[in-house]
Amino acid sequence: MRSHGIRNTMFGLLLVGMLAMAADVNTEAGQPEFWLVTPEEAALAPAPGQPGGPQVEVSREPPDTGPVIEVVKPAEGSTPTVPLEVSIRFTPRGAPVDMNTLQVAVVKFITIDITDRVRPYVSPAGIEIPDAKLPSGRHTVRISLGDASGGVSSRQMTMSIP
């Protein structure tokens, strides 16, 4: 039993360290850099069964009864460069979008919730990030969103950054 406490403590310290690294400061401009995914997070092991394929893949996951989540940029099949423009559109299907249900996560062996990093760029119309930084590698991001009637939708996109 004691090993679980030590493991949980080490995981907590790792998570705090990763969040601190996500808020690195760009000393030249004196402004925080915006890492959508930090280099340390990118180095984590991928989730089991991650498929290969085009440079940018967008998939739909059930259920899909909530708002339409449309990935506008980066375009599917493109080879994005960094900094990356991210544009995702939310379209209600019937009930209004419930922004309190938004979840954005990097899919790795351990899923990393980046909702709070993305929140400043979110509106009921979607997500607009003009200059997101991602390290080289393959990144899978899952976006889930619900509406006022309880419908939920989810989109997953995979990007390969050279």
Q: Answer yes or no: is pLDDT of 12 > 70.
A: no
Beta bridge partners of 26: 31
Number of independent structural domains in the chain: 1
Q: Report which of residues 78 and 97 the model is more confident about.
A: 97
CATH of the domain at 52: 2.60.40.10
Mean pLDDT of 35-55: 63
pLDDT in tens, 120-149: 999 999 999 999 888 888 888 999 999 999
CB-facing half-sphere around the CA of 16: CA atoms within 13 A? 6
Does residue 158 contact residue 50 with C-beta atoms inside 8 Å? yes
Query: Lowest mean pLDDT: which of 1-10, 53-62, 73-82?
Result: 1-10
Whether pTM exceeds 0.95? no
Instruction: Show the CA angle centred on residue 12, arms to residues 10 and 114, nearest 5°.
Output: 135
pLDDT in tens, 108-120: 878 889 999 999 9
